[in-house]
Amino acid sequence: MMISKKVDQNKLNISDIFHNTSDLIIHEFETNFGIRAIACYIEGLIDKNLMDRDVLKPLISGLNKPKNIKKIIFVSQVKEMDSMEDIATQLNYGKVALFFEGNNMGYTIELNQWEKRAVEEPNSGAVVRGPKEGFIEDIVTNKSLLRRKIRSSNLIFEDYTLGKQTNTQISLAYIKGIVNENVLKEVRKRLGGIDIDSILESGYIEELIEDSPLSLFTTVSNIEKPDVVAGKILEGRVAIFVDGTPHVLTVPRLIVEGFMTSEDYYLRPYFASFLRILRVISLILTIYLPGVFVALQLYHQEMIPTVLLISMAGAREGVPLPVVLETLLMIIVLSLIKESGLRLPKNFGSTVGIVGALILGESAVRAGIVSGVTIIIVSIVAISEFIIPEMVQSIALYRIIILLLGSFAGLYGITCGFMVITAQIVSIDSFGVPYLWPLAPMDWQGTKKDVFVRAPLWRNIFRPRAIERRNIKRQTPPWGK
Amino acid sequence: MKWNTIFLIVCTMLGIFLIGCWNARELNELGISLVMGLDEEGDDILLTAEVVDPSFTQKDGGSVGQGGPVKYVQGTGCNVFEAFRDVVLKFDRRLFVSHNKVVIIGEDLAKNGVAEHIDELFRDREQRETAHVLIAKGAKAYEVMGISSGLESIPANYISNLIKNIKENPKAMDMNMIENLKHFYHEGHQSIMGVIEKRGIGQIDKMVEETDIQDYELSIIGSAIFDEGSLVGYLNGNDTKALNFIMDRIEGGIITFPTPDSALGSKSEFSSKHRELSSVVIINSKTKNDVKIKDGNVVLSTKIRLRGSIGEVVGNIDISKEENLKQMEKACSKSIEEGIKTAITKVQKQFGLDVFGYGLVFHRKYPKKWMGIKENWDQVFSKADFEVEVKTDIIRTGLINTPVIRKKER
């Protein structure tokens, strides 16, 4: 729709486009030189003080011709537009639109300001050492946080708008020269294929672009901290910022990223390696422990050391439920406690903890409903799960499958389950990168430097070569000079 | 591709669901048996099992009855399996024998031949071939079961800890089921088993002037000798130690021998009152057996290489001197040699059975001659000459060099 020379017509048109919504403000005024004008904006998206001081005041006092607008107002971004629809879209992003009598052009002025959360430490991925800032909901702030980590002209943002109703801003971030161009092309292609009405969180994007949508394991990472995103894109990955969420996605994702935290690279290599190994052990424990526990108790009692067997049998005396149901029950109770503690207001959270620990743990054993050994096993499972938070979503179901297999068919069943699930993981690619790299296909260089152990930084000369093969040298080591 | 995956998953899962919950047993349906005793009652087999009552591990629940947290169950039958199934109708939980630590065989049963009764102990999937076998010396198996004079509350642990202690003092024999089976199959090696004996506790009670022998303790000193699966006699502790040496089963222990005269000559003033005996702690020992044919006669030879450290010195000898240490080494070797010679002679004279396994060595070395000789190897063995050679290296002398009673040199 073209812009009319008549201000009144424009006013009608813009109200029409917005269907007379109540938060669209249309301010009529007249300059000292007698030019009638209207300013349109959406309430709450702009800085009214700035508008009054730097736009309205100079306009009213000094505008003689609409063409001179850029000479008169003190705002950095003023754009001339001739399409009513474009202007309407811009209003949604917090711009002010100006129309003048006798001029068939509209002007948009960037004055956006809205309520946003301060940059603070995110709930997930808290660190002892390292930057504590986290992303917030505002994409502009998020981009600036990343730019502050990587001050290079090679850091490139590419903006998209997705979601037919929400018009959500999406931004790709990558480093020219380090990023894998094929991955980048693939990401662009998959984003271009998205045709959905709304994108409320980056989870929408994650689900729509991931490689194996039916797998238990995700092939897209989500990250809340700028230093982590910086680390990822410096290894050749592509980051996807979504407006309205502090969770930034990076692709491609390798399964070993689940064991890594940003702190690994800030702490001493020995301790970091110890933590890595601890996380691998805890992954194995949290998935297999309940299943193996049940399988050993039901089918392979001869494999349990005698003394342990006797005390386990003692603990089971008088417990009414079969051991499978007992373990399953406790896992469900554990999930209940965890979920309720998560969703409740913080003040109630501690209450839930007390109820969970004391009433369900202690009393259930005392009442003889569950055996003490099961409580210990489930507690170990829970604790182990907490140190690999990135993988929680994948392993929660995996654990129950293994538990059921163990109860049906003992260690034989667990082995079968392990094989099927491992085969599935091995078959996954994330944007062309094997999901299990560097373990399968085996890359010894990658494995020994940054998987189970974190080699000292001066040893870590190359970037992961699965992600990008060209230009993988991070540094020239002291002995290479 | 997709259908292939689904097909694969279905096939794998089918394998799991087809076997279902076969053989699943909850822990509280099991009667965990830790010791099993086999006896002969008339023509029947009497099986006694020591079943642990696990509720004793719960502090507030469960009550520990007399005789520790275990119960004894017995069953009779015309063979071992039948006896096992007899238990089922008397005892509420199914016997679970995978954790059997010890199998005790009564003397009567052993004398009449144990070989035909232990087939079940190997054939049953639940039985473990690592269980130790002991012969109840002069008693029924059930008579020694239940005695627990140690600190362990479960008698089975008491017995199995005694067996573990053999590496501190190799005067007893530690044979487990699978080794027994090997002995039954081997030609030229008669089987031997450990021994367990019930005896009254007397010595300790004298200290508190309570002479009543009302309590019993167990002792596993000695070993039992079998002829084609039937018990024929026992060896005492020292002979068992020699047997362990020849069979290369020494993991530790001490050797005691007369202290050699000091190179310095002068005898200690204490020496007349005491027998001067010193000891060497075995660090490790390696035995090589060999059989030679000299002038048509079979000669058995055993070479032992032993490393030890001095454990106790009684006598006036300065072991910081190299030549004195050599003397000690020689005396130690001689003591072992004598012990072994005594044992072989005794076995040759008394039993005429090759319990040492020289026949195996002969079989390997002269396979053709063995074919002619194997029927009467035991006679050949009992007439054979033997030579024993022990080499001792003392590599440590303990914390002090000179014996405490050694006179100061002025």
What mean pLDDT comes out for the span A32-59?
A: 89
pLDDT reported for residue B180: 86
Q: Are residues B265 and B381 in the same domain?
A: yes
CA-based max dimension of chain B: 98
d(CA A279, CA A260): 9
Chain centre to alpha carbon of residue B312: 26
* Chains A–B, number of C-beta pairs less than 8 Å apart: 89
The pLDDT tens digits for B45-75 are 999 999 998 887 776 544 555 546 888 999 9
pLDDT reported for residue B244: 93
Residues of A in contact with B54 (CB under 8 A): 310-314, 316-317
**Nearest residue of A to residue B19 by CA position?**
A409
pLDDT reported for residue B214: 56
Q: Identify which of B96, B155, B103, B154 has the alpha carbon closest to the alpha carbon of residue B129.
A: B103
ipTM of the complex: 0.82
Q: Are residues B269 and B379 in the same domain?
A: yes
Residue B273 predicted with pLDDT over 50: no
Residue B252 predicted with pLDDT over 80: yes
Confidence band, pLDDT 50/70/90 cuts, at residue B265:
very low
Q: Which of B208, B235, B262 is the last residue of a domain?
A: B235
What mean pLDDT comes out for the span B38-46?
A: 91
Contact of A142 with A136, CB cutoff 8 Å: yes
Q: Identify which of B300, B293, B295, B286 has the alpha carbon closest to the alpha carbon of residue B354.
A: B300
Comparing CB atoms, the residue among B12, B25, B126 nearest residue A298 is B25
Contact of A46 with A54, CB cutoff 8 Å: no
Give B124→chain A minimum CA distance, Å: 13
Q: Classify the C-alpha dihedral B208-B213-B216-B220 as positive or negative.
A: positive
Q: Are residues B273 and B315 in the same domain?
A: yes
Q: Are residues B224 and B252 in the same domain?
A: no
Q: Are residues B394 and B264 in the same domain?
A: yes
Asked if the structure places residue B6 within a domain, the reply is no
Q: Are residues B254 and B373 in the same domain?
A: yes
- Could you list the residue range(s) of the whole structural domain that residue B80 is in? 30-235
Residues 254 to 273 of A: which have CB under 8 A from any B CB? none
Asked if the structure places residue B87 within a domain, the reply is yes
Contact of A310 with B52, CB cutoff 8 Å: yes
Residue tagged 């949508």 (tokens): A213
Strands B297-312, B385-396: pairing is parallel
Q: Are residues B230 and B265 in the same domain?
A: no
Give B19→chain A minimum CA distance, Å: 7
Residue B212 has φ and ψ, to the nearest 5°, of -60, 125
Residue A5 tokens read as 């020379």
Confidence band, pLDDT 50/70/90 cuts, at residue B204:
low
pLDDT reported for residue B271: 45
Contact of A65 with A9, CB cutoff 8 Å: no
What mean pLDDT comes out for the span B119-131?
A: 88
Residue A360 predicted with pLDDT over 70: yes
Asked if the structure places residue B3 within a domain, the reply is no
Residue B307 predicted with pLDDT over 90: yes
Which residue would you say has higher pLDDT here, A375 or B267? A375
Residue B272 predicted with pLDDT over 50: no
| Range of A124-128, A460-464, B146-150 with top mean pLDDT | A460-464
Coil, strand or helix at B196: strand
pLDDT reported for residue B64: 52
Q: Is the peptide bond before B258 cis (omega within 30 degrees of 0)?
A: no
Residue B318 predicted with pLDDT over 70: yes
Coil, strand or helix at B393: strand
Strands A429-430, A168-175: pairing is unpaired
Contact between B34 and A412 using a beta-carbon 8 Å cutoff: no
pTM of the model: 0.83
Coil, strand or helix at A457: helix
Residue B341 predicted with pLDDT over 90: yes
Residue B361 predicted with pLDDT over 50: yes
Distances (CA, A) of A419 to A280, A281, A324, A416, B297: 18, 18, 22, 5, 63
pLDDT reported for residue B330: 92
Q: Which residues contact A55 (CB under 8 A, 6 or more apart)?
A: A39, A73, A75, A96, A98, A109, A111
Confidence band, pLDDT 50/70/90 cuts, at residue B275:
low
Residue A275 tokens read as 């933590």
Asked if the structure places residue B319 within a domain, the reply is yes
pLDDT reported for residue A80: 87
Contact of B302 with B246, CB cutoff 8 Å: yes
pLDDT reported for residue A183: 92
Contact between B26 and A297 using a beta-carbon 8 Å cutoff: yes
Q: Please indicate if any CB of chain A lies within 8 Å of the CB of B92.
A: no
pLDDT reported for residue B229: 84
Residue B98 predicted with pLDDT over 70: yes
Q: Which of B207, B235, B263 is the last residue of a domain?
A: B235
pLDDT reported for residue B262: 54
Asked if the structure places residue B97 within a domain, the reply is yes
The pLDDT tens digits for A173-188 are 999 999 999 999 999 9
Q: Are residues B231 and B251 in the same domain?
A: no
Provide the number of structural domains found in chain B. Answer: 2
Q: Which of B185, B206, B235 is the last residue of a domain?
A: B235
Coil, strand or helix at A289: helix
Q: Which residues contact B157 (CB under 8 A, 6 or more apart)?
A: B34, B101
Comparing CB atoms, the residue among A313, A407, A413 nearest residue B30 is A313
Confidence band, pLDDT 50/70/90 cuts, at residue B270:
very low
Comparing CB atoms, the residue among A299, A315, A413 nearest residue B23 is A299
What mean pLDDT comes out for the span B296-325?
A: 88
Residue A377 predicted with pLDDT over 60: yes
* Residue B36: Cβ within 10 Å count: 25
Contact between B54 and A310 using a beta-carbon 8 Å cutoff: yes
Q: Classify the C-alpha dihedral A148-A153-A155-A158 as positive or negative.
A: positive
What integer best gives the mean pLDDT of chain A? 88
d(CA B400, CA B313): 10
Q: What is the separation, in whole angstroms, between the first and last Cα of chain B?
A: 97
What integer best gives the mean pLDDT of chain B? 84
Confidence band, pLDDT 50/70/90 cuts, at residue B260:
confident
Identify the CATH number of the domain in which residue B265 sits: 3.30.300.210
Q: Which residues contact B263 (CB under 8 A, 6 or more apart)?
A: B317, B318, B321, B323, B324, B327
Residue B304 predicted with pLDDT over 60: yes
d(CA B347, CA B353): 7
Q: Are residues B272 and B187 in the same domain?
A: no
Asked if the structure places residue B210 within a domain, the reply is yes
Comparing CB atoms, the residue among B5, B24, B99 nearest residue A302 is B99
Contact between B58 and A306 using a beta-carbon 8 Å cutoff: no
Q: Are residues B284 and B393 in the same domain?
A: yes
Contact between B27 and A310 using a beta-carbon 8 Å cutoff: no
Asked if the structure places residue B17 within a domain, the reply is no
Give A307→chain B minimum CA distance, Å: 10
Q: Please indicate if any CB of chain A lies within 8 Å of the CB of B1.
A: no
Q: Please indicate if any CB of chain B lies within 8 Å of the CB of A418.
A: no
